[in-house]
Amino acid sequence: MSKRGKRRTKKKSYQKRNRTVLVLLALVLILIYIIIQKREDESYASMTSASIGDIIDVIERGQADVSRYIVYGTHFNIEGSLDITNPEIDDVQVVAKKSSGEEITVDTTYEYERGEISFSTLDKINTGLDLETLDRDNYYILLKVTSSNGQMNYYSLSNDTEYTDPINYYTLTRNNSNNKINISFLTQNSVSALVLSVEKVSKLPDDVYDVVIDPGHGGNDTGAISGRYQEDEIVLENGLELKKKLEHLGLKVLITRDGTETDEYDTYNIYDEDGRVTMANESGAKILISLHMNSNESDFVDGGVEVYAAPNMDLSLAKSFADNIVEEADTTYSEMKTDKEEDGVYVRTIEIQNRNSATFRGYKGIYDSIPYLFIIREIGGISTGAYVNGSNSSYGENIYRNSNVGVEGYLIELGYMNVNTDLRNVLNNGDSYMQAITDSINSYYKIK
């Protein structure tokens, strides 16, 4: 071997060693990266500065099981149970406790039977813990049991549901500002806790909205027709106006159709990727307003407004819509009696009832046609009993039917197409109807 050759060999082995060192270094770096990632996953709590250690002293007594945790609209609710031997119970409450000790009490109903307390904050699906009012802090959701001798014991909550992913909730936009609330179960040294971590975000993620507007019908579905007027066109024009008004309040608004939809668009693709139900479910919005015009073959009514909401709801926002529309748009409450709860407010349980209920079993329509109130039911997930499961392939499948996060939906029949005063009022005065809806949202959610 020549000198040259020798040198080359030496150089080669030097390069080889160099490469080995580089490979080892890379492996070490990858390993470190994996460890850091794993740590971050495990200790989301410490990232958001929530830690079970903060409340360990109050939860030593034991844990309650959560069988349901739900976000519907702007409210959070839970249901669950606690095994307890001491039956001397004076009160049971769900509380949201800050690490500072400050407590928010959530209205709770409970029963004690054979060594078990079952509790629920879900009396109404849109009341409970108001996520919009929480300060930026960490809140531990605890069960507080007060004995008849006045002693108070706190129990932390463990997850006994099929839902394991954290919920990320974004508050409504107010003054260009939003909070993000991470709702998750943390486990540390076999103690589990349900924690809400509230932090400020600079803006909503691109795919998260405050409000969804759903102008009814569209495509080859005209809705009701009166002379040369079509329901789908009237509600679209008003929907676009409502969008402008809500955006003027600073809200981020998604509209389910904007008039560019083709003839392909109809009632058979609402669960498709760009269908109205899918869009609403994916929107991250807190509230949906669906706009319609009514019609009735028999001319029994003098027209007027009807606002529809889901069952088991506090109806004060629905009532506010009806009242404001009547007043600001100079119209009337509908005379329709069926499903009426209050003047202008309706809850049509037969089409929205939970699939397991006796009421639902008497209802056959869902597999023959799509009930017009499906939108309220199908965007609420388990809170409203969404159930379009694909068993009728022509209507598709609502893949969000089992979601524990739901959009609070209202369907507003502005007036009757076949009642002349109503039709003319909506055509000439649509702006006042939309202003009334905007005013209700503004005051109910304290936007401005």
Name the residue nearer to Zn ion (CB basis): 94 or 370: 370
The 216-245 site mask, x for binding Zn ion (CB under 5 A), equals x------x----------------------
CB 198 within 8 A of CB 96: no
Considering only residues 274 to 293 of the shown chain, the ones binding Zn ion according to CB under 5 A are 292
64 membership: H or E segment, kind and range: strand 63-72
Q: What is the nearest approach in angstroms of Zn ion to the Cβ of residue 150? A: 57
The stretch near Zn ion (CB under 5 A) out of 47-55, 78-86, 104-112, 213-221 is 213-221
Residues from 353 through 392 that contact Zn ion (CB under 5 A): none
Name the residue number minimizing CB distance to Zn ion: 292
Nearer to Zn ion, 216 or 344 (CB): 216
Least gap, CB of 327 to Zn ion (angstroms) = 24
Size of the site for Zn ion (CB under 5 A): 3
Reduced to 3 states, what is the DSSP secondary structure of residue 447? coil
Decide whether 195 or 417 has the Cβ nearer to Zn ion.
417
Angle at Cα 266 formed by Cα 275 and Cα 435, nearest 5°? 70
> Is the sign of the CA dihedral 313, 314, 317, 323 positive or negative?
positive
Contacts of 11 (CB under 8 A, 6+ apart): none
Question: How far is it, in rounded angstroms, from Cα 5 to Cα 170?
Answer: 69
Site track 173-212 with Zn ion (rule: CB under 5 A), x = hit = ----------------------------------------
SS3 171: coil
Tokens 């179960």, located at residue: 185
The burial class, CB within 10 Å (0-12 / 13-18 / 19+), for 135 is: exposed
Q: Write the Ramachandran bin of 218: left for phi over 0, alpha for psi from -120 to 50, otherwise beta.
A: left
Question: What part of residues 28-57 is at the interface with Zn ion (CB under 5 A)?
Answer: none
Nearer to Zn ion, 214 or 439 (CB): 214
Q: Which is nearer to Zn ion, 172 or 325 (CB)?
A: 325
- Map residues 292-331 to x or -, x wherever contact with Zn ion holds by CB under 5 A: x---------------------------------------
Q: 223 vs 284, which CB is nearer to Zn ion? A: 223
Where is 209: in which H helix or E strand?
Answer: none
Closest listed residue to residue 278, CA positions, set 420, 448, 401, 162: 401
Judged by CB under 5 A, the chain residues 114 through 153 that form the site for Zn ion are none
Residue 372: CB minimum distance to Zn ion, A:
6
What is the number of other CB atoms lying within 10 angstroms of the CB of residue 364?
7
348 near Zn ion, rule: CB under 5 A: no
Site for Zn ion, residues 80 to 109, rule: CB under 5 A: none
Joined together, the tokens standing for residue 390 give: 């694909």
Give dist(CA 81, CA 270) in Å, integer: 38
Binding residues for Zn ion (CB under 5 A) = 216, 223, 292
